[in-house]
Structure 1
Amino acid sequence: MVALLNSVPAAAQTWLSGVKLRRSPQQAIQVDTQSFNQVWLRIPVDLLLLPEGTSARMVEICLTWLQLADLVEALDQFCSDSQTLPTLTPTFSSLPRRAIAPAVPLRQQLTPLGIGAASLAVMAALFFHMPVPQRRPEDPELNQPPPTTAPSPLLPEANPPTPAGN
Structure 2
Amino acid sequence: MADHTEVRLEKPRENADDDVVAYFAPNFEVQPSFDNDLFTAERATSRPTVARDNQQYSHELSVEGVFEDSDRLPDAHRADVEAMVGSSPATARQQVNRLVHYATQVGGPFYLYEGTDEYTAESTAAMDVQNGVYPAVQIASVEPPSQGGLSRFEYSVQFVVGVPR
Q: TM-score, normalised by structure 2?
A: 0.20
Q: Which has the higher contact order (CA 8 A, sep 6+)?
A: 2
Q: TM-score, normalised by structure 1?
A: 0.20
Higher strand proportion: 2
Rg: which structure is higher?
1
Higher helix proportion: 1
